[in-house]
Structures are given as C-alpha cells and as structure tokens.
Amino acid sequence: MQQILGYVRVSTREQNLGRPLAAMRKMGIEPQNIYMDKISGKDFVRPQKPLPQGFARLYQAWRRGELSLNQAARKINMPVSTFYNKCQQQKEREKRRK
C-alpha cells in the first residue's frame, strides 16, 4: 500500500496551520504523515552557488571602468542587481584581506 505524505508551511505569525492541516486530512492524509514548518522561506539556509568562471576578470574590468555594470553583467549572463551584489561582496572580501 502506498503511503501519502503531506507538507504544510506557514511563513508569518498571522498565518496558522489549521486550514492547511484540515485540507490535508480531508484528502485522506494521516496526521502522523503530515510534516509542518512555521518558518519564512527567506530564512532557509541555501547553499551558495559558485561564481561563474570569468567573474573575477569582469569584476576587475568593471572596477577599472573598462566596462559598465550592465556590460559586465550581460557578458556573464547575470542580472545586473545580482552582479552588483556579488561585486559588493567581493569588495568586502578584499577589504578583509588587507
């Protein structure tokens, strides 16, 4: 016999598990097979993706003024805001090394 599992998550204090749990039970999912979280999705620990190859070179070119932020981000196929945030992180790392 196949066991059906359920997962319920609420992300704010104002939300409660009552309605989602009732819906799971109505679908025939046993209470012991329902997993629950009361946590915001933004707080989940996610692994950092490695920077794409060539980031360091583009970062340096951007710092020297050889490329605009848009040009550098486009060359590495990264959203401008993400590229900028990664540049700020790189700048902080460089500061700490000094």
Q: Which residues are catalytic?
A: 11
Judging by beta carbons within 10 Å of its beta carbon (0-12, 13-18, 19+), is residue 61 exposed, middle or buried? middle
**3-state SS class at 23:** helix
Q: Supply the DSSP string of 38-85, one letter for each residue.
A: E--GGGS--PPPPPPTTHHHHHHHHHTTSS-HHHHHHHTT--HHHHHH
